[in-house]
C-alpha cells in the first residue's frame, strides 16, 4: 500500500512537471522574474525541474532557482490552485494582463476611409515645397488654379504636420507602453511594428480597434473554459 501511494505521488509529480513545462512556460518565467528577480531574457528559458510541498525548483540558462511556496502546500493536489494564484499575483506585480494579443487587425469598413485620408494628408504635408510651383504634387493636382488655397497650405504645413504627426507619435509611445506591453506583444516583432505604425497614422481609432481585439480574445478564453 505504501509503495502504491509512493508510486502515485511520483506519477502526480511527473505529470505536474510535464504539464507546466509544456503549457505554462510563461508562468514559470514570471515566477522567476517576480520571486527571484531574474532578468526577463534569462527567465524566458524557465523549466520546472522539481516540485515539493514547500518550493518549485526552476532552472534557466544553466542556473537553478528555488521559488518558495509560502505557506507550504498540504499535498500535491493543491498545486493547481497555488500556481494559478501565483500566476495572478505575478501579473499584478508586473502590470500585465491575463489576455495576450498575438494578432494585428487592420482598419476595416469605414475605418479604411479615415485611414486613407490621414495617410494621404501626412504624405502631402510631409514637405512644404509640395505647395510651391514646380513640385510634382503642385503641378499634377493643378494647384496653380487655387493660389489662395496653395498659400494657405504652405503657411500651415509645419503646424499641421507637427500637430498631426507629433500627436500620433506620442500616442504610439503611450500605446506601446499601456497596451502592447501589458497584453504581451513582444517589442520589435511584426505584430508590434504593425500596431505601432497604425497608431502613428490613425491615432485613437487604432486604440479602439485594439480594445475590440482584446475583448474578442477574452470571449474566446471564456468560451474555452
Question: Does 194 have pLDDT greater than 70?
Answer: yes
- The pTM (predicted TM-score) of the whole model is 0.79
E strands present in 31-136: 47-51, 55-60, 63-68
* pLDDT 10s digits, 106-158: 999 999 999 999 999 999 999 999 999 999 999 999 999 999 999 999 999 99
Q: What are phi and psi of 50, to 5 degrees?
A: -155, 160
Q: How is the chain split into domains, by residue range?
A: 2-94, 110-224
The answer to whether 131 and 138 have CB atoms below 8 angstroms apart is yes
- Cα gap 66→54, rounded to integer Å: 10
| CATH of the domain spanning 2-94, picked from 1.10.3720.10, 1.10.238.10, 3.20.180.10, 3.40.190.10 | 3.20.180.10
Amino acid at each position: 500500500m505504501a509503495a502504491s501511494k509512493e508510486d502515485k505521488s511520483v506519477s502526480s509529480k511527473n505529470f505536474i512537471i510535464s504539464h507546466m513545462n509544456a503549457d505554462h512556460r510563461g508562468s514559470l518565467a514570471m515566477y522567476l522574474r517576480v520571486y527571484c528577480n531574474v532578468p526577463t531574457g534569462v527567465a524566458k528559458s524557465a523549466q520546472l525541474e522539481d516540485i515539493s510541498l514547500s518550493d518549485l525548483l526552476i532552472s534557466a540558462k544553466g542556473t537553478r532557482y528555488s521559488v518558495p511556496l509560502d505557506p507550504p502546500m498540504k499535498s500535491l493536489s493543491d498545486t493547481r490552485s497555488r500556481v494559478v494564484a501565483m500566476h495572478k499575483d505575478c501579473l499584478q506585480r508586473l502590470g500585465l494582463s491575463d489576455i495576450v494579443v498575438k494578432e494585428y487587425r487592420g482598419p476595416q469598413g469605414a475605418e479604411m476611409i479615415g485611414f486613407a485620408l490621414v495617410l494621404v494628408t501626412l504624405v502631402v504635408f510631409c514637405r512644404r515645397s509640395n505647395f510651391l510651383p514646380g513640385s510634382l504634387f503642385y503641378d499634377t493636382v493643378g494647384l496653380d488654379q487655387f493660389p489662395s488655397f496653395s498659400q494657405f497650405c504652405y503657411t500651415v504645413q509645419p503646424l499641421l504636420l507637427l500637430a498631426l504627426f507629433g500627436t500620433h507619435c506620442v500616442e504610439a509611445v503611450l500605446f506601446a507602453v499601456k497596451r502592447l506591453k501589458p497584453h504581451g506583444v513582444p517589442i520589435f516583432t511584426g505584430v508590434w511594428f504593425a500596431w505601432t505604425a497604425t497608431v502613428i497614422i490613425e491615432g485613437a481609432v487604432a486604440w479602439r480597434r485594439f480594445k475590440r481585439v482584446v475583448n474578442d480574445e477574452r470571449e474566446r478564453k471564456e468560451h474555452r473554459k
